[in-house]
Amino acid sequence: MIRRHAPGALLLTYLAVFFVLPVAVLLVQHTSAGAVIDVMRDDSMRRVAWFTLWQAVASTVLTLAVGLPVTWALSRHTFRGARLMNGLVTVPFLMPGVVVATGVLAVMPQRGIAAILWAHVVFNTAVVLRVVSPRWAMVDREMIEAAESLGAPPWRVFTQVTWPAIRAAVTNAATLVFVFCFSSFAVIAVLGGVSTRTLETEVFTQAVRLGSIRTATALTVLQTAVVVIALLLSRGNRTDESATTNPPEPMHQSHRARLRNAPFITALTGTAIVFAPIVAVVIRSLRYDGAWTLAGFRALFDGTLDSIGIDIAECIATSARFALVTIVIAVPLALLTTRRDRATRTEQLTLAPLLVSAVTLGLGIIVTFDVTPINWRSSTFMIPAIHAVIALPLAVRIIGPARRAIDPALYESAEDLGASRFTVRRTVELPLLRPALARAAGISAAVSLGEFGATSFLTRSDSMTIPIAISQLMGRPGPLLQQAGFALATLVVLLISAAHTRPN
């Protein structure tokens, strides 16, 4: 019995030390009702909270406006280039927020709310596509055709047939997008400017620049409360998703004359909106003073940045080490935690880090691990340790379903032949899980390479990561430094792509 529960105990111990403890210490030792009330009474803080709320709502609405038509086109139709567009829409979500923000800045040099909203759309359209597309693909086409044959106009077909089937998925996607935009940090830090503040950036300002842990903690309480309320409302609005279980074949756009090229044009437009900033990063990295040049890339490695204390080679090596440690921690923990028969409560607990922003977690780390014998906050290991906490929910949700999709008869046959549990895992399970493990490793590496919020609290001169370096370069005056920032962002695009490339 002890041996059976050991994997769950290992996961719970890890989360207890690097997630529960810092959050609990932050809330218990540095939170008071008086501080929360003071924040709510402060006119400046109320304006920050209001801006945080309405920009998140606006970002969610715009993301749905772009994402739902793209999802309709890619989930219900097949046409030349559909798979490529599907991949291109997903790419920005894999990128660090600071890279997406840098790409928007390359297209729209003026910082402000318009740039913030576009960056959020770019980053989160993939969420809508991934959450809603499987459900939309399952909508029974015969019901749609029956409604149309009875003379129902398209808007009525959508509201009476399609919408009831996809409403729960859309609600879930909208909730996730809202949470991501509400707790956005890198996008606001790069594109917001001095006068644009959200709860997330204000937590960092109050804690690091002003030294007011009391105010920062009160802000995290308000922020977490809004996130929890949003998730609870989403859960309360879920509906029965049972319908057809056999997804129909995607309709070729030429099958219906009325549609003509509508799916292709819709998908292409959405892809252009989402992927343009990524293209702009690459183009901007090669353009300097009106000419094509590699000056930005040369500036990264020829000593130009030494005067501002940035060693790009060391940053890349540090980020690579952190990504490797994140993989080594997150993937085995996810593998040990998941079970082949069902999702356990321990597995469900790995969702907990999604309820707390990375900035809040970073703040909890610096106030918790500052006393003997756990004076670890200056240790470079703390950064990949926190990266693993953030990556763990994603790794579990990649490995868990893949593990439960393996035919139980394979296990039974191996066991009937006398194979031990270890042998079954080594010879049957692990080979079949290899693609899922590779995906989990790739997403864990991407999380580590792109994490900005918690790392902003923990980074030191000897542990600067690539996103921190990009942010510093883009925030400094001088066209060459910004050119170097675009060049470094381009390297991140290549690194993330490499992390997600695996042999077939």
pLDDT of residue 503: 42
Q: Which of 298-312, 319-333, 428-442 has the lowest mean pLDDT?
A: 428-442
Q: Is 187 found in the same domain as 61?
A: yes
Q: Is 219 found in the same domain as 117?
A: yes
Q: Which domain CATH number covers 296?
A: 1.10.3720.10
Domain boundary among 251, 285, 319: 285
Q: Is 396 found in the same domain as 312?
A: yes
Q: What is the per-residue pLDDT across 34-82, written as a single tens digit (0 to 9) for each? A: 888 999 999 999 999 999 999 999 999 999 999 999 999 998 888 888 8
Q: Is 21 found in the same domain as 81?
A: no
Count of structural domains within the chain: 2
Closest residue by Cα to residue 148 from 297, 258, 15: 258
Domain boundary among 253, 268, 285: 285
Per-residue pLDDT at 243 exceeds 90: no
Q: Is 478 found in the same domain as 463?
A: yes
Q: Is 280 found in the same domain as 348?
A: no
- Sorting pLDDT into bands at 50, 70 and 90, what band is 250? low
Which strand (E) or helix (H) includes residue 251?
strand 251-252
Per-residue pLDDT at 247 exceeds 50: no
Per-residue pLDDT at 263 exceeds 50: yes
Residue 241 φ/ψ, nearest 5 degrees: -100, 10
Q: Is 148 found in the same domain as 136?
A: yes
pLDDT of residue 1: 46
Q: Which of 111-120, 227-236, 416-425 has the lowest mean pLDDT?
A: 416-425
In DSSP terms, which residues pair with 15 in a beta bridge?
Answer: none
- Sorting pLDDT into bands at 50, 70 and 90, what band is 245? very low
Average of pLDDT values for 119-137?
91
Residue 463 φ/ψ, nearest 5 degrees: -135, 30
User: What's the pTM value of the predicted model, to 2 decimals?
Assistant: 0.85
SS3 sequence of 408-463: HHHHHHHHHCCCCHHHHHHHHHHHHHHHHHHHHHHHHHHHHHHCCHHHHHHCCCCC
Q: Is 473 found in the same domain as 366?
A: yes
- Before 373, cis peptide (omega within 30)? yes
Domain boundary among 285, 319, 336: 285
493 vs 142: which has the higher pLDDT: 493
Q: Tell me the C-alpha distance between 452 and 456, whole Å.
A: 6
Q: Which of 335-344, 443-452, 495-504 has the lowest mean pLDDT?
A: 495-504
- Sorting pLDDT into bands at 50, 70 and 90, what band is 460? confident
Closest residue by Cα to residue 51 from 205, 190, 199: 199
The count of other CB atoms within 10 Å of the CB of residue 159 is: 12
Q: Is 215 found in the same domain as 70?
A: yes
Q: Where in the sequence is the domain holding 476, given as residue range(s)?
A: 1-29+291-504
Q: What is the per-residue pLDDT across 179-213, written as a single tens digit (0 to 9) for each? A: 999 999 999 988 987 778 899 999 988 988 888 88
pLDDT of residue 138: 81
Q: Is 127 found in the same domain as 24?
A: no
121 vs 243: which has the higher pLDDT: 121
pLDDT of residue 459: 86
pLDDT of residue 55: 96
Q: Is 295 found in the same domain as 249?
A: no
Largest separation between any pair of C-alpha atoms in the chain? 75
Per-residue pLDDT at 259 exceeds 80: no
Q: Is 379 found in the same domain as 270?
A: no
Considering the chain, what percentage of its residues have pLDDT values greater than 90? 37
Per-residue pLDDT at 4 exceeds 70: no
Average of pLDDT values for 125-149?
80
Average of pLDDT values for 363-385?
87
Per-residue pLDDT at 325 exceeds 90: yes
Mean pLDDT (the chain, rounded) = 84
SS3 sequence of 373-405: CCCCCCCCCHHHHHHHHHHHHHHHHHHHHHHHC
Query: What amino acid occupies position 262?
Result: A
